[in-house]
Structure 1
């Protein structure tokens, strides 16, 4: 993530300017991602895992925002539920994240990359005891 960078939104007006921190985009993208059916969870790190166990909700977990001179890139790291179509889920995530960020911040996102890092099995299958 970018260090202390802010995104300028719109033009400078007589009233002032509007800047948005990348962490805000992470939260918006995280919430938009978890709204999609078939997304089991988001990938986090050790710190977010500990914070969640202590009761703090990490809405930006599993989201990486990259800022360059003229583009905003977002990487989404998810675990999908078994039985759902990965390409369909990924496309829905891309559309929902783009729509949410553009509606809330008026920032255009160049890329939204979805990384599936695992599959969640609701009911682990029992091992067969038959010999073949």
Structure 2
């Protein structure tokens, strides 16, 4: 992550400015990805919960990365897909949903949404 906050200069706010952290943009992206059928979770693919929390605390590759450059966001999501899901079509829907959600909620332009399919979960 480059900047922890981004000043949205283009928003006409009466009496002040607005800053939205990349963490908030990442949470919006995560929730939007989880809304798509076929996405099991936003994760780097570690199944063991103790190992997962250890890796997260060690700052190993996070499941959502937001980079801000020149007022636009580039988002990378690591996804666990449900077994049997048609990955290309689910990925397309995730990209559309993430881009739409972030832009509608924050007015931040999303230049790209990159997806890494980190694993599959069995149907339940």
Q: TM-score, normalising length from structure 2? A: 0.78
Q: Which runs of 4+ in 1 moved over 6 A?
A: 45-48
From the superposition, tell whether residues 64 and 93 of structure 1 become closer, same or farther in structure 2 (CA, over 3 Å).
same
1:50 matched to 2:53: yes
Counterpart for residue 101 of structure 1: 102
Q: TM-score, normalising length from structure 1? A: 0.74
Counterpart for residue 69 of structure 1: 70
Counterpart for residue 20 of structure 1: 20
Distance 2:104 2:33 in 1: 15
Structure 2 portions without partners, runs of 5+:
55-61
CA shift for structure 1 position 62? 1.9
Query: Deviations for 1:59-116, whole angstroms, at most 9, x for unmatched residues?
Result: xx62110122343100011010111110111111111111111111011100101111
Distance 2:53 2:34 in 1: 20
CA shift for structure 1 position 31? 0.5
Structure 1 portions without partners, runs of 5+:
52-60, 124-132
The CA RMSD over aligned residues, in Å, is 2.5
Other structure's SS at 1:95 match = helix
Q: Flag the structure with larger Rg.
A: 1
Return the structure number with greater relative CO, CA threshold 8 A, min gap 6.
Answer: 2
Distance 2:111 2:22 in 1: 15
